[in-house]
Amino acid sequence: MQIAEAVESLTHAFRTGRVANAYLVEGPLRSAGVPLAEKVLATWLCEQRNACGQCRTCEQVRQHQYADLFWMEPEKKSRKFGVDRVRDMRRYVSQTSFVRDGWKAMVVVGADRLGQDSSNTLLKILEEPPARTVFFLLSDSPQSLLPTVLSRCQRIRLSAPEPADADLQARLAEILQAGDGAWMGAYGRANRLSALLAGIKQAVSDAEEQADDGDGDETESRGVERSKQEFEARVQARYLEERERVLRGVQEWYRVLLLAVTGADASAWGNQFPVPMIRERSAHVALRQALRNVQVVEQMKSQLALNVPELNVLIQGFSQLS
């Protein structure tokens, strides 16, 4: 389902009184799940009832500061939710709406990153949801959620792909096209990719810092939430999402390379990497190695998910890639 279709469907449910207690939105978080939640809530709550983007409510929803909106994102460097934060949501759910007869909305970005205790606390909330309260659980890995949580949600599968990043693909191609698996070649490519990731992390940090500055006096009033520790945790959580996007780009390169090695026509590749570059590289890679490449990238992703030192994973991985 495309984002626009989902917004239309949810808006119809809202206007006809058929809103579910909880929705599981499956898809890329930043390019699909978050925009959907923001658009739907703006449409539901807008003073003009059309997500005008100009009224105070639309602006508050966009800033995730609407009085009856509880917006929750991973607050630890591990990208996990602390159980205390979920308990805060439980208390918030039990409170009376600030708007008379109004709706309260709970948005959990990256719901699959809830730990066991946090998931159980959420489940208790979903089992007895208050009236006029809706939950949006956003996830790009719904298989990681507890089956009991999944059973409480109406699922929305977003098919909207992440927007193509031509600049990222060009930079990855430049790094990956030198397919020498020798140690010095692997070390060089690992360091270049590490430098690319460091630049992305700095950009994320700058964006978060600018967002904090834009809050003005409210930054002080939010106390602990704006502490250095939590700022670093937010940056790390966003960075890990961006790193995953980069790794998907690396994975895509080796997937296309495998197709080229098998002789598949370029029209079937479904990518934006330069065709001549892929063809040239595929001439030097055997089918067995092309298959191995795909497996190695999966192993790299798994190791990084286990918090193995990033540069170590990259060097070891590139030493096996060709």
pTM above 0.75, yes or no: no
> Looking at residue 36, which CATH number applies to its domain?
3.40.50.300
CA separation for the pair 289, 286 (Å, rounded): 5
Domain identity same for 290 and 176: yes
Domain that holds residue 29: 3-157
The first and second tokens of residue 240, run together, are 């890990």
CA–CA separation, 176 vs 277, rounded Å? 10
CB 104 within 8 A of CB 93: yes
Q: What DSSP string runs through 233-270?
A: HHHHHHHHHHHHHHHHHHHHHHHHHHHHHTT--GGGT-
Statement to judge: residues 97 and 235 lie in one domain? no
Spatial distance between the Cα atoms of 223 and 221, rounded to a whole number of angstroms: 5
What total of structural domains would you count in the chain? Answer: 2
- For residues 145 and 269, state if they share a domain: no
Q: Are residues 192 and 131 in the same domain?
A: no
The one-letter amino acid code at 284 reads: H
* Cα 254 off chain centre by: 22
Q: Is 17 exposed, middle or buried (0-12, 13-18, 19+ CB in 10 A)?
A: exposed
Q: What share of the chain is helix, strand, coil (3-state, %, to 5)?
A: 60, 10, 30
Q: What is the pLDDT along the chain (322 residues), one digit of tens a residue?
A: 888 999 999 999 999 999 999 999 998 888 889 999 999 999 999 888 788 888 999 999 999 999 999 999 886 656 678 788 889 999 999 998 888 678 999 999 999 989 888 999 999 999 988 899 999 999 988 988 999 999 999 999 997 555 556 788 888 988 988 655 555 588 889 999 999 999 999 998 888 787 666 555 444 444 444 477 778 877 888 888 889 889 989 999 999 999 999 999 888 887 678 889 899 999 999 999 999 999 999 999 999 988 899 999 999 999 999 8
